[in-house]
A = this chain, B = another copy of it.
Amino acid sequence: MTYQPPLRDMQFVIEEWLNAPADWKVIPSFRGVDAELSRQVLEEAGRFTAEELAPLNAQGDRQGCQLEKGQVSTPEGFAAAYQAYVNNGWPALACDPAWGGQGLPQLLDAALQEMLASSNHAWAMYPGIAHGAYECLRAHASPELKDAYLGRIVSGEWLATMCLTEPQAGSDVGLIRTRAEPQGDGSYQLEGNKIFISGGEHDLTDNIVHLVLARLPNAPAGSRGLSLFLVPKRLEKRLNGVYCEGIEHKMGIKGSATCALRFEGAQGWLIGEPQRGLAALFVMMNSARLHVGLQGLGHVESAWQQARSYAAERRQMRAVPRSANSVEPADLIQEHPALRRTLLELRAVSEGLRALGYWGAHLLDQAEHAPEPQARAEAHQLASLLTPIIKAFFTEQGFQLSSAALQVFGGYGYVNDFGIEQTLRDSRITMIYEGTNEIQANDLLIRKVLGAREPLLGNLLDTFRGEAELCGQTESCRRFGDVLIQQCERVRYLTDDLMDSQDPEHPYRAALDYLRLLGWLGLAFAWARTARLAAPKREQPFYRGKWETATYVYDYLLVNLERQAEAVQASRAPLPFLPDDVSIG
Contacts known (A321-B504, A576-B552); A411 close to B433, Cβ less than 8 A: yes
Is the C-beta of A343 less than 8 angstroms from some C-beta in chain B?
yes
Shortest beta-carbon distance from A552 to chain B in Å = 6
Query: Which residue from B174, B258, B414, B549 sits with its C-beta under 8 Å from A432?
Result: B414
**Which A residues from 166 to 196 make CB contacts under 8 A with B?**
169-172, 174-175, 195-196
Is the C-beta of A551 less than 8 angstroms from some C-beta in chain B?
yes
Q: Are B573 and A555 in contact (CB under 8 A)?
A: yes
User: Which residues of the partner chain B approach A563 to less than 8 Å between Cβ atoms?
Assistant: 559-560, 562-563, 566
Shortest beta-carbon distance from A196 to chain B in Å = 5
Is the C-beta of A7 less than 8 angstroms from some C-beta in chain B?
yes
Is the C-beta of A165 less than 8 angstroms from some C-beta in chain B?
yes
Is the C-beta of A320 less than 8 angstroms from some C-beta in chain B?
yes
- B-binding segment of A145-153, A228-236, A420-428, A490-498: A420-428
Q: Are B509 and A441 in contact (CB under 8 A)?
A: no
Query: Which residue from B222, B562, B582 sits with its C-beta under 8 Å from A329?
Result: B222
**Which A residues from 325 to 374 make CB contacts under 8 A with B?**
329-330, 334-341, 343-344, 347
Q: Bits for A395-439, please: 1 = Cβ < 8 Å to B, else 0.
A: 000010001001100111111110001001100110111001110
Q: Bits for A193-233, please: 1 = Cβ < 8 Å to B, else 0.
A: 00110000000000000000000000001100000000000
Q: Are A175 and B329 in contact (CB under 8 A)?
A: yes
Q: How would you classify the secondary structure of chain A's contact residues: helix, strand, loop or mixed?
A: helix
Q: Are A413 and B438 in contact (CB under 8 A)?
A: no
CA of A35 to CA of B563, assembled, Å: 42
Q: Are B575 and A340 in contact (CB under 8 A)?
A: yes
Q: How many copies does the complex hold?
A: 2
Interface size class of A (residues with CB under 8 A): 35 or more
Q: Are B407 and A437 in contact (CB under 8 A)?
A: yes
**Which A residues from 490 to 531 make CB contacts under 8 A with B?**
504-505, 508-509, 511-512
Q: Which of A172, A252, A511, A580 has the most CB of B within 10 A?
A: A172
Query: Which residue from B174, B541, B560 sits with its C-beta under 8 Å from A581?
Result: B541
Contacts known (A171-B317, A556-B570, A575-B344); A8 close to B414, Cβ less than 8 A: no
Query: Which residue from B315, B335, B541, B570 sits with its C-beta under 8 Å from A555?
Result: B570
Q: Are A576 and B551 in contact (CB under 8 A)?
A: yes
List, sorted by A's number, 19 A–B pairs whose CB atoms are closer than 8 Å.
A4-B585, A174-B330, A251-B421, A308-B578, A321-B504, A337-B505, A337-B508, A338-B511, A341-B512, A344-B576, A411-B432, A413-B432, A541-B580, A545-B582, A546-B579, A546-B581, A548-B579, A555-B570, A562-B566
